[in-house]
Structures are given as structure tokens and as C-alpha cells.
Homo-oligomer: A and B are copies of this chain.
Amino acid sequence: MSDTRSLRVALLGAGTVGGHVARLLLEHHDELAARAGISLDLVGIAVRDVNAKRAVDLPAELFTTDAETLIQGADIVVELIGGIEPAKSYILAAIGSGADVVTGNKALLAEHGAEIFAAAARVGAEVYYEAAVAAAIPIIRPLRDSLAGDHVERILAIVNGSTNYILDRMDRFGDSMEDAQRVALELGYLEADPTLDVEGYDAAQKAAILAGLAFHTTVPAAGVHREGISSITLEDVESAREAGYVIKLLAIAERVADDAGVEGVSARVHPALVRRDHPLASVHGGNNAVFVEAEAAGPLMFYGAGAGGVQTASAVLGDVVSIARRHLAGGVGVGESVAADLPVHPIGAAETRYRISLEVDDRPGVLAELAGILASRGVSVETLQQSTSAADASASAVASDDVAASGEADRATATLVIGTHSARDAALAAAVEALAASDAVESVRSVLRIEGA
């Protein structure tokens, strides 16, 4: 540790976020020192290639490829490389050498958070990670500290700006999924390889972090059920709108008891129907929002930009200043509470509601038959809507190709939309399977969960 006149800050990574962190540390040096009560001196930036072109212009003498040596001489190590290795080794080395750590590395925390927090706890180091979820939106401290005396029941969060941008375009401008993805790519909302965002991997990592914090439990990323948005069509979006919903990719963490009554947590990421008057429905573009339902506090929402280099840098710098203040005040890191140590249940244990859209035979007795299938799985119906309108007839033309092939081309079909009451997800999924197997059902057009009602 350094003397009390300054703290040596080492930065690992000089991408978009790292560049802004370095710039702001230099530009606002005196102001940050005044707030922290101690000078925060950027002593170096570890990168793979010191000659690489960078978005933010920084003094060349700060750059080094020798991360290990930089870490050894630092009081605060800011890791913004991303990915598992070498980020993990660097963070553990920093903790081992007595430094505190700031990171925005959601993948690493979701996969190896428990190991990193345990290493920090052994030596009393701080590991702060406000930037790991929802960029600049303060959500880690509110969950860890402000709600530390409350009982969080559920979190519904929009934590991936790229997919929110895509779904919002489909909803507001009528773009197809393909067109919306193309625009998102052009405007930089989506990476060249969109898989992490579109298939929900990024949101699942954040869901694991939020669930762990909210429920004082270690939740591995592998315990998060994950579905992306690639199967969502414009027809789904428009049908949702007609019914008063908007489709959002939600990260959901909640308390659930399984069939045996064992209290646990469930974390999942999937597209969901959200009622238009829910606060999450008005989160547009690339923004993020975290909606928290707590026993005493009631519903809370945290809203803001969910990405962006300078926005994320704000969260990183807040952590750096907080660590500096704590350094001056003495004491060790408080660490993460995993006191509840709850089991992580699979999605089947969660209580959900489904909206099921089916192409069914248009003949007497079909409704009773399908209702019977649902009832036998313990699923009760809240709404039923059947239509054979011109629009539906044309929409069902695709399905009728298959029908024609099976020699039943002249069977009349109707569209049936079933909204269920809430039930275990396992029961709902089984009911959909049974419906799909029924002779009366030509095709399952879409199945979406309804959340936040």
C-alpha cells in the first residue's frame, strides 16, 4: 500500500470504457482528489499492443504491455479487459499483492465471482463492480447496501441495450427482426458477432450477478435459464401490441419454492410480454432499467443508459473514488453477502403465465378438447381468443402448406390465442407440448411468457 498522499491506479485495458476512464482520471484529477481526500494517480495502462489506434488520445508513456509489473505497483487495479483470461489471473494477482479492484467484467463475475470474492475476503480487499450491470445505472450499491435490510422478492430487468433497441424498433417502427438487427449493427448497438447479445448470454451473466446480490446467494451463470430474441417475429410484436403488451428481453431473478417446498431462487432470461402500462414498457432504444420488488420498499425502478464507453466509465470512476475514501477511512472490504446460500431452482419451478398462439381446426368441440388438455396439466385459462378473419386466413397460409402435403388441404383452421393463469413453468411447458401433439392443433405459432402483470 502507498502512503496516504496518493493512490496509484493501474488500468488494464484501453478499449472504449478504459479510454474514457483514463481520460477522466487525468482531466478531473484535482476534482477527484478533492472528493476522495487523496490523489488518484494513473500510473499505467496495460494493453496488448502499445501502438494500437485508440478512440481517446492518451499520453504514450502511460502504456505498457507488462500488466504483471503494473499490477504489483498499484493500490487500485481497474480491470477493463473483459473475458475470463487473462482478466481473472490479473485480478487475483492484484488482490494477492494487496490492491483493491474495480472491474466491469460481467462474464468473469458471473462465472468466477465466488472465487474472486473469497480471495478478496481472505485479505480484506475491496472488489467493486458497479459497471458490470447496466453501465452507469447505480444498481449494485442499491441492492447490496440500500436494500440490505429488506427482502427482495423479484427483479425484472432490461439489461441488454442491443436487444432492447432491436425489439423497440420492431415495436415502434414496424421493422422486421432482420431489418432491426441490420440497423442496430450499423449504428453500433450490436457487435459484428451478435450472438452474445441476441441469444441472451450477456443478459444471463447480468441476471446471475443481480440474483446473487439480491438473494445473498451464489448464482452461477450456468444456473440461469436463457432464451434469446432471434425467434421473435414482427407478427409476434404486432400481436402483442394488439393485446396491450410490448415484448422485452427480460432478466428475471426471483424467490421460488420448488414442488418439495424448498425455498430457492430462480434466474432466467427470455423474451416476455410486458403490459404497456408497466414502467418497463416505456424503456426505449438502448436504455436499461432494473425493476425491483421488495417486501418493505415495494416496487422500485432504476433507469438510464445501459451501455456506452463514457457512461460505463462513470460507474468505474465512482468505484475508484469510493475505494479511495474507504482506503483513507481504514478497515477492510465489506465483501459480498452470500449468507442465505439458497439453492438455484430450474425454470420449471418458477411461476409464470403463458400466451400461446395456435393454429387449430375450425370445428365444434376443439375448444373443449384443448381446454381439457390444459386442465389435465393443472393449467387454467384466463383468456381465450379465436379468430378466422381474413388476416388470419392469410397468416395461416404458410401452415396450410404442410397441411396440403398431408392431404388435408381443405380443413378449415382458426387462430386461437390462449392466455393462462399463472402456473409452474414446467406445467405450462408440458401443456404446450401436449397441445402441439393434439390432432386438433395444426401448428404452434408462438409461445411467450407474460411478466410483471
Contact = CB atoms under 8 A, between A and B. Distances in A.
Interface of A: 20, 24, 28, 31-32, 34-37, 124, 130, 135-138, 140-142, 145-151, 216, 279, 282, 294-305, 308, 310-311, 313-322, 325-326, 328-335, 337, 339-340
A376 B306 CA distance: 45
Q: How many copies does the complex hold?
A: 2
Contact of A303 (B146, B301, B330): B301
B32 A149 contact: yes
B151 A28 contact: yes
Contacts of A339: 31, 34-35, 37
B297 A304 contact: yes
Given A314-B149, A317-B150, A318-B149, A329 B298 contact: no
Contacts of A320: 149
Which one of A145, A301, A339 has the highest number of Cβ atoms from chain B below 10 Å of its Cβ?
A145
B148 A317 contact: yes
B146 A318 contact: yes
B296 A136 contact: yes
Which one of A141, A151, A340 has the highest number of Cβ atoms from chain B below 10 Å of its Cβ?
A141
A77 to B, nearest CB: 16
Contacts of A135: 297
A145 B296 contact: no
Nearest to A341: B34
Contact of A333 (B35, B140, B279, B329): B329
B334 A136 contact: no
Contacts of A315: 146, 297
A58 to B, nearest CB: 16
Contact of A329 (B140, B319, B334): B334
A137 B147 CA distance: 9
Given A145-B318, A149-B32, A296 B279 contact: no
Contacts of A297: 135-137, 304-305, 311, 314-315
Which one of A24, A296, A313, A320 has the highest number of Cβ atoms from chain B below 10 Å of its Cβ?
A296
Contacts of A302: 138, 300-303
Contact of A20 (B32, B130, B296): B296
B330 A149 contact: no
5 contacts: A137-B297, A138-B145, A298-B305, A325-B334, A331-B332
Contacts of A294: 136, 314
Contacts of A311: 296-298
A130 B146 contact: yes
A332 B322 CA distance: 14
A305 B314 contact: no
B316 A305 contact: no
Given A301-B302, A331-B332, 9 more contacts: A36-B148, A136-B300, A137-B300, A140-B146, A148-B325, A294-B314, A296-B317, A301-B301, A301-B304
Contacts of A142: 138, 141-142
A296 B136 CA distance: 8
A150 B314 contact: yes
A299 B304 contact: yes
A274 B343 CA distance: 46
A147 B321 CA distance: 9
A138 B300 contact: yes
Nearest to A144: B322
A329 B332 contact: yes
A24 B149 contact: yes
A138 B149 contact: no
A298 B303 contact: no
